Each structure stands twice: as C-alpha cells, then as structure tokens.
Structure 1
Amino acid sequence: MAGKSGAPWWAHMMLYAGGLTMVVAGGAAAVTQIGVNTANSAVEQEEFLGDAQAEMDVENIEGPLNILVLGVDKQGGSTRSDTMIMVHINKDLTDVSMVSLPRDLYVEIPDCGPDWGDDSCMQKLNHAASISDDWEGVTRPNVVSTIYNLTGVEFHMGATVDFNGFMDLVDLVGEIELCPWHEIKSHHTDKVFPEGCQYYNKKDSLDLVRQRYPWNLDSDWESGLGGDYGRQAMQQQAIKSLITELKADGYHKDPAKLTEVLGGLGDKLKLDLQDGVTVADLAVSLRDIDPNDITSIRVPASTEVTEVGDSEIIHEGEEQTAADALWAALQDDTMDAWIAQNPHWVKQTGNAATETTTETAEESGTGG
C-alpha cells in the first residue's frame, strides 16, 4: 500500500518553498500579492551541499529534482540534526517521494570527531551531526558528506529547518489539534498526554511532538510507529493542524497575514538554491504539488545490536539490493517502479497508521 504524506512537517515546508504556498492555493498568485522581493528575502540562503550538488537548468526549473532536507534542533549553544530526509520530485513536478534516513542507521562517517582523531568510523548516522558545535563549518558538511557517500545521490537543492523555532508560529493561531493514538508521559516534563484529539498551546505542542521514547508499545512497533517513527507521525500531525488553523484564520486570503507568516519563519528555514534560482521561482514551479499526496519510504534496514548499541543496519542480501536500487531510482527518476517492487518499505499514511495502531492496541488490551 502506498504510504502518503507520512513525512516530517519540515519536508512539507520545503515543498512549499519556505511557506509561500503553505497556506495559499496557487504559488504564483501568492508571490504576486506579497511581492517577489518580499518572497525572495523572507528565507535565508546558504550554500552547503558542496560536492553533493547536482547540475540543473536554473532558467527552466523542471524535474526530476532531489532535495536534501535536514531538520535541526537548537538547544543551548549547539545545533544538531537527527532528522534527515531525501525528497524526490519526478520529471513532471507532480509526484513526490520522501526517503527518511533513520537517525540510528549504521554507516561510515568520514569525520567522527576528536574522540576518533577526526578520522572515519562506523557509527549511527546522527553521530555525524554531533562532532562539533560549529554547525555551518564542520558538522553540517560532515552530515552531507556522510549521506552522499552512503547513497551517491546528488541534490539539486537543500534545506535546513529549525523545528523548535517553527513551532513559534503556533502563537499566531493560539492552539493546534494533536491526536496521540494512546496515552503517553513526556520524558521531558512528565506531563501526561491522553489518547485522542485535543487542542494544545505552543509549549505543550512542542513537548508532545518531541517525544520519541514513549512510543514503545508492541502495537507501536507493529504499526511502524515505534520510537522515532512515532515522533515523525506527531510532527506530521502538527504541521497539518497548523496549516488548517492558519487557513481558518484567513492567512491564505490576506497578503498582510501571509507576510506575517513569512516574517515568523525568519532564520528558521535556510535554503541552498543554485545561482539563478529564487524562492519565488521555486514556489511557482512546485505549486501543483499536493502535500496530502506524498509517498514516504523507509530505508531498507533492520535493527541489530552493534558496538554502538541498537542500530539500523542495511544487511547484505535483500536489504542491500533494495537499498542500492533505491539510491539508483532517486538518481534515475524511476521511483514508481521501485515502489511497486518494494511495497513493504513504503510507509502508511499518518492517519491510517494512527488508526491501525489504535485498533491494534485495543485488540491487545494495551490502549491508553
């Protein structure tokens, strides 16, 4: 079953070109209303893809396109990335596939930091994002190199998104609706979040969508929502709920309000666009993409204990064959064929997965 829209919120944000078409039907109209200069200056641009950057025709944006998106978490003086995704848009700029790279994926990292003499090592993928407090100069290039060395996929553009900062936009609407599929207790604040849909303010929303460890019921893992996958599902709920509330408050009809959304993004979203490509160009080119019609894919891997703990490993045999074919499909724009041949690595929809998890929990007597 093709899994639609099971992707983190910031992946949707990338496709919506930094918020330009997040709440407006028709990117061209939005850009015209708020002004091209406002649109282009609303989102900061940085070069960080390096050797992993693919060539593209900047005068005529067309697919296929590969986009590397890194979700970052700024705490204290450090910036980390433990959510990484490869976005593929087909030649016609109509179909989107998103490949989530597990934070615990066991990979070779070119620079493992001072404890390894700044040499390479085999470690979990998120270790690549923890070797230095210098995010722009050291850590982010290390993450990009690790992903490029693993997959060989070249990217036409990239984005880094600060999730905590983006949640500040909840203040614009007051509250958003989130629907945990069973009761959980926050491992950050000890707050108990009940099963079912309720409205939460920014503080509680951020607490809930950052949870990873409480999604540990057998039914969570059976439904593909255990651990970090549960957190991704809640993040997906958050962005869809925020979009719903922004539309309800008229942000999609009022250029002044839309400018307020863009201003709220500030430095929370940074894009690596090739010279000659603007945010306005991107908004117009991707205006026909429906965020509810996106296929989410898991990397072919399974859990095994390594010297660095529980890890996701691409094992030799079927997993390695499927993974190699996946990297090639991203490069060759043959994702439809890969999805048809590998349905078990395609994730369920957020809503379907939530319903399945709830039903499984009720059947097993473990529901919240």
Structure 2
Amino acid sequence: MKHVAGKSGAPWWAHLMMYAGGLTMVIAGGTAGVAQFASSAAENAVPTENILGDAQAEVEEIKGPLNILVLGVDKQGDSTRSDTMILVHINEDLTETTMVSLPRDLWVEIPDCGPGYSNNPCENKINHSASISGDWEVTRPNVVQTIYDLTGVQFHMGATVDFEGFLGLVDMVGEIELCPWHEIQSIHGEKRVFPEGCAMYDKDESLDLIRQRYGWDWDSDWEEGRGGDYGRQAMQQQAIKALLKAFKQEGYLTDPGKLTEILEGFGDSLTIDKPEEWTITDLAVNLRDIDPESITSVQVPSTADQTFLGGEAVSIVMTHEGAEQEAADALWAALQDDTLDQWMTQYPEWVKTPGKTPTADASATVD
C-alpha cells in the first residue's frame, strides 16, 4: 500500500492500512489483513471511466487545491443525459469546499449541437450539450468540453452520479434534513406537499423535493435568486450537505468498512475519473477535515433573459456583458488560482451563506 499523501494525523485505520503489507507477514491475517481487505474493497466498489478527457489536470500527489467536476445524470432505459453540473473546489489546505452549480438554462457556446445543427457549434442552453444523443459516450465529452470552454478550469477528478442512486444512500442513515423556503407542491407521482421550514425526509421524499423546479416561482424566489432551476440547485446542494453530515455523524467517513458500504451503496450510480496513483482510501483520509456544514455555495453570475430559437421566444439565463461577465471571469480564475476567498469578498452578492438555508441576490428562470 502506498504512503498516504498529504496530511499527517490520519485516523487509526489509515495508519493500519499503510503498514498492512508488512504486518500481514507477521500477524498472518489479523487486523491489518482486515484493513487491507477493506481498502481493496473500497477501491473495487467504484467503477472508473474517462470522464474529463483533455480537461483533466496533471497531478500526482493528493494535495490542494482540487477542482472536481460532478455531473448528475438521468438514466432512462438505454439513454443517459446530464441534467446537473456542479464544480466542486477544495482549497489548498483540503479543509474548505465550495460548490458552483451551472444553471441548466445558462446560455453558452456548445462545440457540437447535434444532428439538428449538422453537429456544428451553436449557442444554446448548456443542458442542450447533453441532449445531442442518447449515447452517453457521445454526450459526455460534449458536456465536459462545453464546461471547459466556458470556464477554462482543468479538473483533478470527475464523477458522474445518478441522483436517484445518490439519494438511495439516504436509506443508510434513515432520513436527512431539508429546508424549503416556502411550501412546495410536488408535480410528480404522489403530489406531496412539502411545508416551509426544516424537516426530516426519507429517500423518496428527498428525491421528490430536490427534483422540483416549477414550484420555485414565488415573487420572493425571483427577488432572492432561487427562482426556477436555481431553487432546484439549492435543494440539491442542501441534500449533498445533509447526507455528508449524516454520514460523518454516524462514523461512515472514518471507518474503512463503512466507507466501503457507502461506495457499494452507489452501485452503478457512481463512476469516477481520478489519477491512477490515487486510491479511494487515500482520498478519504486526505479529505477527512472537510466540514459538511461549512460547504459554501456560489451562484454563477447571471440573470434571466429571453432569446429566440427557431422563431420562438425561450427563457434563458445569461451572463451579461459588464459587471456579470467580469464577476464570472473572475470566478473561473479564482477556481484555478485558489483565490475564492478574495472573490467572495469582492462579489458577495453571488455567495450563499454556509451552514444555513441558501439565499442569493440574482434571478434565474425556467423552461
């Protein structure tokens, strides 16, 4: 087992795994062997694929800062499409995390706009980059290239997550806390009604709530920057934080057996793209100091707008020239340079308060 890169003071099981090879020769299958087995099981529990392509940064050791691209995918039959795109930044000390969700209606340049455009580039909503084919092997590189062209950010890791599989992990902790800002009437299935304020929700309820977009249409939603898809993004980020918090409280993030349980719980709902030198257990050790409650959410500088496609008016989200473009360009640079603290100080209107129900001061829109 290679030495754990990065931080010292690793938990007991990490030290045990570092010396597992030598100890098994002496103890012949004792606790070190169990730890080694847990490490191997964790490594084998997660499928890998080439997600990032040319957008992958060259790295060796696990050290900050790190940028991770997370694509939430929707699997229907043989078709897989990405409907959620999150840029995760971890600072140099590997202690602070920032999430930047790209609005699905963000107006961007797309390198391949599909058969309807003779596979030529075009300007369209960013989620169009994921709709050019039902074949994920075709759409995935198009989505990644679109994000890379927009941001210029190179990523150290990539991951695709089926949100249904992700929230299936709620079963492992029973329930998670979610806090809608006002009552939400579900448009799906059982037509649940979610009351304003914080409450505990099980797997099915959580999934239903974080899929809602059209309920975030109150005047206060638009005024406070959580209208439409921004409300959906904020609830998804709440779910991620709540699940991480629950796992940490129950010891899943410091026990190799429980870590493997989490990874196996994803099944084929999670795939990752990481440097070959990195192991899952090394990552768990090095990222152990991140506090889920302190994760900061950032909104891409942009506001609602309207344009025409095929002669029809469509609602979009656009980063406009001037102050918005300046803030957006500075955001992409801050992700690369690990200067997000300075960026947040300069552009507080695009920052959501960590540890509280997210709010923001920009507008968004829905289809």
Q: Same fold (TM over 0.5)?
A: yes
Tell me which amino acid in the other structure corresponds to 2:338: D
8 Å CA contact retained: 1:233, 1:350: no
**2:58 matched to which residue of 1?**
55
Deviations 1:208-249 (A, max 9, x none): 221111111111222222212222332334344445555676
Distance of aligned partners of 1:250 and 1:291 in 2 relative to their CA distance in 1, 3 Å threshold: closer
SS class of match (2:188): coil
8 Å CA contact retained: 2:167, 2:207: yes
Separation of aligned partners in 2, 1:89 and 1:197: 27
SS class of match (1:141): helix
Q: CA deviation at 1:173?
A: 4.0
Q: Which moved more, 1:221-230 or 1:144-153?
A: 221-230
TM-score w.r.t. length of structure 2: 0.81
Aligned residues: 329
**1:44 matched to which residue of 2?**
47
Separation of aligned partners in 1, 2:276 and 2:134: 28
Deviations 1:105-146 (A, max 9, x none): 1001011111111111100000001111111x2101000000
**1:4 matched to which residue of 2?**
none
Deviations 1:240-293 (A, max 9, x none): 444555567675687655543332112221111022122122112222222222
Correspondences of 1:183-262 after superposition (within 5 Å):
183-189=183-189, 190-243=191-244, 256-262=257-263
Separation of aligned partners in 2, 1:152 and 1:252: 32
Separation of aligned partners in 2, 1:26 and 1:241: 24
Distance of aligned partners of 1:108 and 1:159 in 2 relative to their CA distance in 1, 3 Å threshold: same
Correspondences of 1:276-291 after superposition (within 5 Å):
276-291=277-292
TM-score w.r.t. length of structure 1: 0.81
Deviations 1:318-352 (A, max 9, x none): 11122222222222222222221111111234634
Separation of aligned partners in 1, 2:344 and 2:62: 25
Correspondences of 1:142-161 after superposition (within 5 Å):
142-161=142-161
**2:132 matched to which residue of 1?**
131
Uncovered stretches (5+) of structure 1, i.e. residues with no partner: 1-24, 358-368
Correspondences of 1:53-92 after superposition (within 5 Å):
53-56=56-59, 58=60, 60-92=61-93
SS class of match (1:351): coil
Correspondences of 1:250-329 after superposition (within 5 Å):
256-308=257-309, 309-329=314-334
Tell me which amino acid in the other structure corresponds to 1:53: Q
Separation of aligned partners in 1, 2:90 and 2:203: 32
**2:167 matched to which residue of 1?**
167
SS class of match (1:123): strand
**1:29 matched to which residue of 2?**
13
Separation of aligned partners in 2, 1:53 and 1:255: 28
Distance of aligned partners of 1:276 and 1:173 in 2 relative to their CA distance in 1, 3 Å threshold: closer
Q: Which moved more, 1:174-183 or 1:119-128?
A: 174-183
Q: Which moved more, 1:212-221 or 1:163-172?
A: 163-172
Distance of aligned partners of 1:197 and 1:89 in 2 relative to their CA distance in 1, 3 Å threshold: closer
**2:28 matched to which residue of 1?**
none
Q: Which moved more, 1:194-203 or 1:243-252?
A: 243-252
SS class of match (1:149): helix
Distance of aligned partners of 1:296 and 1:130 in 2 relative to their CA distance in 1, 3 Å threshold: same
Report the aligned-residue RMSD: 2.7
Q: Give the structure with higher Rg (CA).
A: 2
Separation of aligned partners in 2, 1:324 and 1:150: 9
**2:21 matched to which residue of 1?**
none
Higher relative contact order (CA 8 A, sep 6+): 1
Separation of aligned partners in 1, 2:255 and 2:339: 40
Separation of aligned partners in 2, 1:260 and 1:324: 40
Tell me which amino acid in the other structure corresponds to 2:331: L
Tell me which amino acid in the other structure corresponds to 2:216: W
Q: Which moved more, 1:137-146 or 1:238-247?
A: 238-247
Tell me which amino acid in the other structure corresponds to 1:139: T
Separation of aligned partners in 2, 1:97 and 1:353: 13
Q: CA deviation at 1:196?
A: 3.7
For residue 345 of structure 2, the aligned residue among 331, 336, 340 is: 340
SS class of match (1:214): coil
Distance of aligned partners of 1:98 and 1:178 in 2 relative to their CA distance in 1, 3 Å threshold: closer
Distance of aligned partners of 1:222 and 1:28 in 2 relative to their CA distance in 1, 3 Å threshold: farther
Separation of aligned partners in 2, 1:297 and 1:224: 12
SS class of match (2:138): helix
Tell me which amino acid in the other structure corresponds to 2:39: V
Uncovered stretches (5+) of structure 2, i.e. residues with no partner: 1-8, 18-34, 362-367
Tell me which amino acid in the other structure corresponds to 1:335: L
Separation of aligned partners in 1, 2:357 and 2:50: 38
Tell me which amino acid in the other structure corresponds to 1:124: K
SS class of match (2:148): helix
Distance of aligned partners of 1:102 and 1:192 in 2 relative to their CA distance in 1, 3 Å threshold: same
8 Å CA contact retained: 1:26, 1:288: no
Deviations 1:26-75 (A, max 9, x none): 6673795572111211211111211111111x2x3212222111111223
Q: CA deviation at 1:197?
A: 4.0
